[in-house]
Structure 1
Amino acid sequence: MDSKKGIIFTGALVGIIAVLLVKLGNPKNMGFCIACFIRDISGGLGFHRAAVVQYLRPEVMGLVLGSFAVASLKKEFNVKGGSSPFIRFTLGVTVMIGALMFLGCPLRMVLRLAGGDLNAIVGIAGFTFGIILGIASLNKGFSLKRNYKLPKSEGYIFPVMNIFLVVLLILAPSFIFFSEKGPGSMHAPALIALACGLIVGILSQRTRLCMVGGIRDLILFKDTYLISGFIAILVFTLIGNLSLGYFNMGFEAQPVAHSDGLWNFLGMVLCGWSSVLLGGCPMRQLILSGEGNTDSVITVIGMFVGAAICHNFALAASPKGPSPNGKIAVIACLLVVGLISYLNSDMANLKSKGKGVA
């Protein structure tokens, strides 16, 4: 699966599955969206009380468990962590704040474009600019330092938690929240969605599918391996949307989207920049979590908390547009990410050493 054909096949299948999940009940242009689905799970567990976005999305659990299963089978389950955990948690929060300003993760950005949502072009421009900022940070020596080998038991905890979430979804106890209207109430049958997540998790683990990595590698090395997977997602989702009559080109009246170009752009700048510093997009973080990378687990937990913050403090955008609180939060987070970039760069380290010598 390391060949170009392998990642194109993966992208094609992800695109087909995304359209299938919409056909079976997921919101339009949201066959898969890591940010939106984590937000829904956060609400389902009661971390926020936005009644229209509460549901334990089994696609997320499937991604983690699919990655865990194939990594274990291929002897690639490698438990490690301890690389700047609180910074990773913070960047997980900023990724989510940026994504929920745009109303979608990098994967949904591509799915939105394939559905005719031209706001996604603005999002892609912002995302690419954010990645360029991240590359500039890397070129200045940005690093979150090394990680360390950990006991295997440490790596099993997150997959077990995801199994527990599946059980909660099936049993539906009274303390779990389920939306009765809005995007959270729209979902494919649970077992089918779980199976789709497992398939995508397995294929993504084998191919290292990552939107951030795709654009980063294209800019830095002219390497088209990773980006070809997302081009395949775009093409096959577009074909599926055209076939089923879901394609609707324009900026206005797009499903679960707004048309404020400036804040779509800035939201994805924040998401892209934060993701480069983390070493991968939100979906890639879930896949790495299944492989035993506890640094990625910390990042995913940061995204869960970020989703709760967005809805508890009115930071998330809505189809009506961005909120005043959300605008302030995105600007503040861009400053925070800039500060993190600087303080973890060679320049800051050299100044610190110089002061120590003096």
Structure 2
Amino acid sequence: MKNEKIVIVIAGIIIGIISVTLVLLGNPANMGFCIACFVRDTAGALGLHRATAVQYIRPEIIGLVLGSCLMALSKKEFSPRGGSSPLTRFILGFFVMIGALMFLGCPFRMILRLAGGDLNALVGLVGFICGILAGIFFLNRGYTLKRTYSLPKIEGVIFPVIQIVFLSLLLAAPAFIYFTEAGAGPGAKHAAIAISLAAGILVGILAQRTRLCMVGGIRDLVLFREWKLLLGFLAILASAFVMNTATGNLSVGFANQPIAHTDGLWNFLGMLTVGFGSTLLGGCPLRQMILAGEGNTDSVITVIGLFAGAAFAHNFSLASSAKGPTTNGMIAVAIGLVVMLIIAVVNTRKAAATVNN
């Protein structure tokens, strides 16, 4: 167990260094990695939304899935499975993305924003923890989305193959793929493709081996007093903070933070939505990507929900900006919390009814 914790800490340190290095090499500030932002950019590149400022097929996402897949195959852990309430998982993934784009980042970016001195992320962290606690309340009462089933290997291979297709589209840059023009927004800021892809693969490998998950870390600490998974994210925070300090990229405060807003209430509620939904799903967006690479089609459905959420967020003005949240976004987050509550209650009652029978 001690050696396992050491491995997780080392992995976290490496991931934190990689994240800041990606920023130094061209990625947006405090966005070495962000599952929500990178899915949003990729969705834009595929034409699922037309927000021209955020359109780019992010190699880091491709690398995460391929790295996880390669490691799972090498360790004989590639296990295609699925069938656990797929439509419910799609809906939860959809609203997790809505919450993330209200806050302007996934849990991974929340940590990187903290490491860069963005104190708005502290408010988001409090909301995130409260969302996880809400999910734990239902877990303790029997919430479940039911079991998964073994599937043919071809089912597990499809999503990694799709990532190879995305990489081909990125390299070929055909006319039907959209890219943000230089200087026109965050989508135009990125490290070189080879570097981003290699970084994604390495992080995918490390996350697959260590089972890194921000939701899982906090959940396990609350339920079992187990710090193991959380140590990885604390290590990411520490190493990224040191890197930002050393490179002069540390800016402590609430105002004028890169790709962030200062509306505390909606930063809180956005990450509350992410924490609650991710707990009901069994893992944060990063963990869903890694599981998808391992052949878990339930996680693939969740990721498709993330893509759909990103498309809706920018097609219907739900996503926040540096100016703050939109009215449409506030309504969407409120609806998302209600829907998640209904899902939690219904699936807890079903579990209780099954036990009683």
TM-score when normalising by structure 1: 0.97
Q: Would you say the 8 A contact 2:142–2:351 is kept in 1?
A: no
- Structure 1: give runs of 5+ residues left out of the alignment: none
CA distance in 1, matches of 2:313, 2:355: 38
The share of aligned pairs that are identical, in percent, is: 60
Equivalenced residues, count:
354
Correspondent of 1:215 among 218, 239, 252: 218
CA distance in 2, matches of 1:177, 1:20: 26
CA distance in 2, matches of 1:340, 1:236: 38
Name the residue aligned to 1:183: 186
CA distance in 2, matches of 1:37, 1:225: 27
Correspondent of 1:233 among 233, 236, 260: 236
**Partner SS for 1:344:** helix
* Residues 1:333 and 2:329 aligned together: no
- Which residue type is aligned with residue 117 of structure 1? D
Give a deviation string over 1:95-132, Cα, whole Å, max 9, x none. Answer: 10000000000000000000000000000000000000
C-alpha deviation, 1:349, in angstroms = 5.4
CA distance in 1, matches of 2:202, 2:118: 27
Q: Would you say the 8 A contact 2:288–2:299 is kept in 1?
A: yes
Equivalent positions of 1:156-167 (< 5 A) are 156-167=157-168
Name the residue aligned to 1:43: 44
Name the residue aligned to 2:33: 32
**Partner SS for 1:83:** coil
**Partner SS for 2:239:** helix
C-alpha deviation, 1:137, in angstroms = 1.0
Name the residue aligned to 1:107: 108
Q: Would you say the 8 A contact 2:124–2:271 is kept in 1?
A: yes
**Partner SS for 1:258:** coil
Correspondent of 1:251 among 242, 250, 254: 254
C-alpha deviation, 1:352, in angstroms = 9.3
C-alpha deviation, 1:350, in angstroms = 5.1
Name the residue aligned to 1:261: 264
- Which residue type is aligned with residue 329 of structure 2? G
Give a deviation string over 1:245-295, Cα, whole Å, max 9, x none. Answer: 110000000000000000000000000000001110000000000000000
**Partner SS for 1:137:** helix
- Structure 2: give runs of 5+ residues left out of the alignment: none
Moved over 6 A (4+): 351-354
Correspondent of 2:195 among 171, 192, 216: 192
CA distance in 2, matches of 1:213, 1:343: 22
- Which residue type is aligned with residue 270 of structure 2? G
CA distance in 2, matches of 1:95, 1:307: 10
TM-score when normalising by structure 2: 0.97
**Partner SS for 2:144:** coil
**Partner SS for 1:3:** helix
CA distance in 1, matches of 2:75, 2:223: 30
**Partner SS for 2:310:** helix
Give a deviation string over 1:225-256, Cα, whole Å, max 9, x none. Answer: 00000000000000000111110000000000
Q: Say what the alpha-carbon RMSD is for the aligned residues.
A: 1.4
